[in-house]
Amino acid sequence: MTLSAIRPGATAVLLLLAVYVPAFAATSLIRPALPVAISLIIGISLIVALALIGWLSRRGIGTAAFGFAPASLRSMLPAILIGLPLALAAAWLAAAFPSPSPIDVASLPDWQQALFFVIAAPVQEEIIFRGLVQSFLQRHWPGAVRVRTARLSTAVLCTAVLFAIVHLGSGVATVAGALVLSVVAGELRRRTGSLVPAIVVHSLFNVASMLVP
């Protein structure tokens, strides 16, 4: 594999570091209460990601290339029909094989958990992974990989691996669920051209993980 073929993957990792390092650095320096820490991580990483998307889109690409496009009602149906059963299966798997979470959010009120993990985190992570990283990789790695009878985008699969790696601290079951979520969300993002179906699937996974005991 040539250097020019590897470079987009290395750049994608650098984009993730550019997004997350300032957020975690600020949180480590300030050491705020848990709700403020979560807000800072989500807020700072989202702002940086949007700034990077804005910078990249000025190079003649446009924000629509990063998934900032409306989704039709027809495109939302697969997000629900596919996402819901997979979300319940992933939540059951995580409950059957529990692992300690790197951040204990059990002390947060239900409304804060819903705000952070049903609304804010799905929007933030989908903009970062499916909006910024996957869109960047798709431009440089437009090919696909055959998995049995299906053909999956190389950019989708590589983004899914990065997304799973980010969740390594949450245990094997959560990593497996994150990988499935990322592939489904990534393919929906690629096929519909919009981040909205991916955000819906992500929210379904998080809701299921909160509701399944």
Report pLDDT for 38. 96
Q: Are 26 and 44 in contact (CB under 8 A)?
A: yes
In the chain, alpha helices (H): 3-30, 34-57, 73-96, 110-114, 121-126, 134-140, 154-166, 172-192, 196-211
Q: Phi, psi at residue 145, to the nearest 5°? A: -115, 135
Q: How far is residue 97's CA from residue 95's CA, in Å, rounded to a whole number?
A: 6
Q: How far is residue 70's CA from residue 185's CA, in Å, rounded to a whole number?
A: 16
102 band by pLDDT with thresholds 50, 70 and 90: confident
Lowest average pLDDT, out of 84-88, 99-103, 169-173, 207-211, goes to: 99-103
pTM comes to: 0.94
Which pLDDT tens digit goes with each residue over 117-136?
A: 999 999 999 999 999 999 99
| Total Cβ atoms within 10 A of residue 182 | 29
Amino acid identity, residue 203?
Answer: S
Average pLDDT over residues 182-191: 95
Full DSSP string of 3-58: HHHHHHHHHHHHHHHHHHHHHHHHHHHH---HHHHHHHHHHHHHHHHHHHHHHHHT
The angle formed by the CA atoms of residues 45, 55 and 7, to the nearest 5 degrees, is 85
Residue 115 tokens read as 């705000």
Mean residue pLDDT of the chain comes to 91
Top-ranked range on mean pLDDT: pick from 92-101, 144-153, 157-166: 157-166
Q: Are 65 and 57 in contact (CB under 8 A)?
A: yes
Report pLDDT for 73. 87
Report pLDDT for 106. 82
Which pLDDT tens digit goes with each residue over 51-63?
A: 999 999 987 788 9
Domain extent listing, the chain: 3-211
82 band by pLDDT with thresholds 50, 70 and 90: very high
18 band by pLDDT with thresholds 50, 70 and 90: very high
